[in-house]
A = this chain, B = another copy of it.
Amino acid sequence: MSDAATAVLVVEDEPQIRRFVCNALRDDQCQALEAGTATGGLEIVAREPVHLVILDLGLPDRDGISFIRDLRNWSAVPILVLSARSAEQDKIEALDTGADDYLTKPFGVGELRARVRALLRRQQQRVDAGAVHVFGDVAVDLSRRIVTRAGAEVHLTQREYHLLAVMVANTGRVMTQRYLMNQVWGPGHSQDSHYLRVYVGRLRQKLEADPTQPHYILTETGIGYRFQP
């Protein structure tokens, strides 16, 4: 079900359990990202394309429920909660705040993996493994992080590539400036949309035949942008 291009973030403070969970996921060919704190976890979701979050409710720096609430303000990524607390009220609270599943410790690694597969199956905007997105003479290889134009490789900086990756993942859809800012610069920069204008300009410069009249990265005035091959 899951593939190499699927990124799962594990937010868990105990290194031992974190290792354990990450290894279980890697067997399923997921890319496992790790965070030891709630704050660190939010930053990663904001910066990287994450397809599933596995969250331990007992974090040192912050309440797990408030983590869910915070994340749900700007992301719809599925959340699987791990918790030592088995009381019904805890489960209800987590699920109603926005979690998609709740697994009580101790749990079997097989069940965890099956539930992860079930959640990822539901996830719509998953990117196919090794899928190379081609438009015109440009090709974007998301799994290898390589962009070529007319066969020659185009060098993109980290921000440029991240922005392009978000756009490719949302092909055909209108993306608000707010959404793009959250995805690429993280929450807290929703206002600074001039970053976006600069970087969209640079991408057009590198990818469009005529940067003055873009054919791929289209402007939706007053809203944001749309990527259309």
Spell out A's residues near B (CB within 8 Å).
1, 76, 78, 88-89, 91-92, 95-96, 99-101, 108, 110-111, 113-115, 117-118, 122, 124-126, 129, 143-146, 157-158, 172-174, 220-223, 226
CB-CB < 8 A to A143: which residues of B?
Answer: 173
A76 touches B125 (CB 8 A): yes
B122 touches A158 (CB 8 A): no
B118 touches A91 (CB 8 A): no
Known: A100-B122, A124-B129, A158-B221. A92 touches B110 (CB 8 A): yes
B115 touches A95 (CB 8 A): yes
Q: List 13 A-B contacts (CB under 8 A).
A: A92-B110, A92-B113, A95-B115, A95-B117, A96-B117, A99-B118, A122-B122, A144-B173, A145-B173, A146-B174, A157-B222, A158-B221, A158-B223
A173 to chain B, nearest CB (A): 5
A88 to chain B, nearest CB (A): 4
CB-CB < 8 A to A221: which residues of B?
Answer: 157-158
B126 touches A124 (CB 8 A): yes
The number of times this chain is found in the oligomer is: 2
CB-CB < 8 A to A222: which residues of B?
Answer: 157-158
A174 to chain B, nearest CB (A): 4
CB-CB < 8 A to A1: which residues of B?
Answer: 96
A78 to B124, CA, bound (A): 14
Closest B residue to A224 using CB positions = B145
B144 touches A118 (CB 8 A): no
Closest B residue to A125 using CB positions = B76
A95 touches B124 (CB 8 A): no
A172 touches B157 (CB 8 A): no
CB-CB < 8 A to A110: which residues of B?
Answer: 88-89, 92
CB-CB < 8 A to A114: which residues of B?
Answer: 91-92, 95-96
Known: A111-B88, A124-B129, A125-B76. A172 touches B158 (CB 8 A): no
A9 to chain B, nearest CB (A): 19
A144 to B143, CA, bound (A): 26
Pick the contact of A174 from B111, B124, B145, B223 — CB < 8 Å?
A: B145
A229 to B145, CA, bound (A): 17
CB-CB < 8 A to A172: which residues of B?
Answer: 144, 146
